[in-house]
Amino acid sequence: MTAPRAGKPAASRAGTPAAQRGQATAPGERLGLRSDWDYALHLPLHYVDETRITPITALREAQVAVVQARVVQAELMPARRRVLRVLVEDSGGRLELRFFHFYPSWTRQFAPQRELRIRGEARRGLFGFEMVHPVCHAAGAHADLPDSLTPIYPAGAGISQSWLRKAVAAALARLDMREWLPAALLARLDLPPIGQALRLLHAPPPQVSIEQLEDRRHPAWRRVKFDELLAQQLAQQLARARRAEQRAWPLARQPDGLVGRLLRALPFELTADQAACVAEIASDLEREQPMHRLLQGDVGSGKTVVAALAAAQAIDNGLQCALMAPTDILAAQHLRRLAEWLQPLGVGVAWLRGSQTRREREAELARAASGEAALVVGTHAVIQDKVRFARLGLAVVDEQHRFGVAQRLSLRAKGAGEQRQPHLLMMTATPIPRTLAMAVFGDLDISTIAHSPPGRQPVRTRVFSGQRRDAVMQRVRELVLAGRQAYWVCPLIEAPAEPNDGPGGHAELRDALATHAELQALMGEQAGCVGLLHGRMPAGRKAEVMGDFAAGKLRLLVATTVIEVGVDVPSASLMVIEHAERFGLSQLHQLRGRVGRGSEAAQCLLLFSEPLSATARARLQAMHQTSDGFVLAQKDLELRGPGELLGQRQSGLQGLRHADLRDDQDLLELAREAAAELLREHPQAAREHLQRWLGGGMDWLAA
């Protein structure tokens, strides 16, 4: 029968959680519904048409329908698993209802001759149509039918659909849904009023297409998605305007200073893309407004040298630069490169990481605090409380999507002094498609290195079934014994103590420890040339292994994704990725980018296990077809959405509940233009719209 009520609908004070009002937590708060506006935006996933009765004789296979019928008989069927069987009939035919989960009291509710309204999916049984676990409730012969489609909402345990419908209806009745957007704008974009759109989505008339509603193509859905994107674009444009009011140290370009000396000392010429990015960043640094720029470029495109020249411009002006990277390996690579370029020019470089001894750490902290170290490189250790800078003028965050908003804000706060903010340069080797850049990074300026430096070798990518794993291992053995260097990447460090043996469980996955032992045995007398690297190893041991691999003492390195970023060994020319179907496109591309960095032709072999999902198959096909990171990033967006590209810590995406960046690119463009128009011509409407959609949840825009 129908589920019991979960409680009363939310209180009328929009935006105030029940717990703060001294009441018991409302069921809706478990779904994040705290205000009337939250309930109004808790939109249905599906709809059921209960506005018409379908005669039993008119039922069709797999049709979800409502029938009204009298109970003929209800009985418990003797079987290993008890079944409640109910036979009902209308004026034209009979229908069997089956319940496998029920309470004993239900037999009394199915008393003979009782009139029921029944909703379920019809399917053919042995003796005609039947419904399994339909929704049933008592209905008089002349009971009114609803005049709108019945919404089915996202719900949690213990929260019934009937409770949610009442709570939403009560919230809609209380809400002030006055129209804030100008009528001319709505007419130009052919959008309905917001109140009309929301009421239709919660209670659509029966003539509205259920398919259009559930596919989110109805004009009412278009209005909701536009409003959500508009709020996001307004917030980003306001954040940009707010930063324009802040002040940073203007860092003048000094061609005859450190920047010029570094350019002359580099053993290579900048590419046209690199030079253009350097010029854009240098121009930003000259301003008194804090720079807020994202530098994007494919794997190995040369972002580090661009960051080094930006650091040199800050140091030329008597300020410090801090560079933060997410892993020890990546931070260590930056340290080696930057120290190699800058220390011979007289720049002091400090190194902060979590695994330092107390004495080492205190010495580096003192150099940063005194200003002796003009450049400070490190991991998350850079933002710990004890870290002080004499005068931080530029903060650089590499692989920025791996850091949360709070961490980026903490680094910027290290330079807040004399009412000045440091300039901020974020870097990513995951190219951002234009749509995503507008949606998430719309308040940033973006510089792009579109082409790799000359000399980078194309990596030939081949895809193999796991059934050919032994043949691949033999081929790797031959190449390693012939002097080549290779990586072998596994998704796990070791098999879990209590394996998940179900489909797709970890018991099916090859782990790094077992694979390392296999490859050592395969190499025989040359077993010593096989190394192992994973995230649970101490930082010192990881550095030692990477050093041995870079020096050629190790020729085959079995690793987890700890080598995804920050590993640069030009002599390595072969990459094997085990269970490649388990990785996202951006991660596969990053791993592939570890090879092809020298003069030797490089290969990437992707081993996959069956069965392959359609998405996994499309990813592997894309890897085989192209090595262009920008093309792969767009494909990733189409296949998996923005989370795959940006990771789970990009708080700017958390506000998008209704719009889909894959399907709503046209709305995003319109919202961006409309946001500028509102801020310019209708600032009060812009403020009201932001308050309605975001309230106080705009902290993420600060970083």
> Is 15 among the domain residues?
no
Indicate whether 348 and 415 sit together in one domain: yes
- Between CA 439 and CA 675 the distance in angstroms is 13
**Res 655 pLDDT > 70:** no
**Res 18 pLDDT > 60:** no
- Between CA 687 and CA 35 the distance in angstroms is 19
Confidence bin at 651 (pLDDT 50/70/90):
very low
179 Cβ neighbours under 8 A, 6+ residues apart: 186, 193, 194, 195
**Partners of 559 in beta bridges:** 489, 533
- Between CA 431 and CA 445 the distance in angstroms is 14
> Is 37 among the domain residues?
no
Indicate whether 237 and 211 sit together in one domain: yes
Q: Which of 233-247, 557-571, 622-636, 646-660 has the lowest mean pLDDT?
A: 646-660
Task: Report the pLDDT value the prediction gives residue 21, as an integer from 0 to 100.
Answer: 45
> Is 72 among the domain residues?
yes
Indicate whether 468 and 409 sit together in one domain: no
Indicate whether 444 and 467 sit together in one domain: no
Structural domain count of the chain: 4
Indicate whether 108 and 186 sit together in one domain: no
Write b or e for each residue in 267-301: b if 16 or more Cβ atoms lie within 10 A of its Cβ, otherwise e.
eeebbebbebbbebbbebbeeebbbbbbbbbbbbb
Indicate whether 263 and 387 sit together in one domain: yes
Query: Do 383 and 391 meet the contact criterion of CB atoms below 8 Å apart?
Result: no
> Is 638 among the domain residues?
no
Task: Report the pLDDT value the prediction gives residue 39, as an integer from 0 to 100.
Answer: 94
| φ, ψ at 383 (rounded to 5°) | -100, 10
Q: What is the pLDDT of residues 84-132, one digit of tens each?
A: 999 999 999 999 999 988 887 787 789 999 999 999 999 998 888 999 9
Q: Give the structural domain span for 360.
A: 258-449
> Is 30 among the domain residues?
no
Task: Report the pLDDT value the prediction gives residue 647, as an integer from 0 to 100.
Answer: 46
Q: Which of 574, 608, 626 is where one domain is finished?
A: 626
Residue 289's CATH number: 3.40.50.300
Q: Which of 404, 430, 449 is where one domain is finished?
A: 449
- Which range among 500-509, 535-544, 546-555 has the greatest average pLDDT? 546-555
Query: Do 641 and 664 meet the contact criterion of CB atoms below 8 Å apart?
Result: no
Indicate whether 337 and 419 sit together in one domain: yes
Q: What is the pLDDT of residues 459-488, one digit of tens each?
A: 999 999 999 999 999 999 999 999 999 999
DSSP secondary structure string for all residues of 142-159:
TPPPPSSPEEE----TT-
Q: What is the pLDDT of residues 554-576, one digit of tens each?
A: 999 999 988 877 678 888 999 99
> Is 27 among the domain residues?
no
Indicate whether 404 and 530 sit together in one domain: no
Confidence bin at 443 (pLDDT 50/70/90):
low
DSSP secondary structure string for all residues of 437-487:
HHHHSTTSEEEEE-SPPTTPPPEEEEEEEGGGHHHHHHHHHHHHHTT-EEE
Cα–Cα nearest to 384, from 361, 402, 400, 367: 361
**Res 601 pLDDT > 90:** no
> Is 163 among the domain residues?
no
Distances (CA, A) of 675 to 23, 194, 667: 39, 17, 12
Indicate whether 263 and 337 sit together in one domain: yes
Confidence bin at 5 (pLDDT 50/70/90):
very low
- H-run or E-run covering 258: helix 258-265
Indicate whether 207 and 135 sit together in one domain: no
- Between CA 98 and CA 130 the distance in angstroms is 7
Q: Which of 37-41, 429-433, 684-688 has the lowest mean pLDDT?
A: 429-433
Q: Which of 428, 449, 470 is where one domain is finished?
A: 449
Query: Do 605 and 576 meet the contact criterion of CB atoms below 8 Å apart?
Result: yes
404 Cβ neighbours under 8 A, 6+ residues apart: 649, 651
> Is 274 among the domain residues?
yes
Confidence bin at 408 (pLDDT 50/70/90):
low
Confidence bin at 405 (pLDDT 50/70/90):
low
Q: Which residue has the tokens 């370029």?
A: 341
Indicate whether 445 and 463 sit together in one domain: no
**pTM listed for this prediction:** 0.73
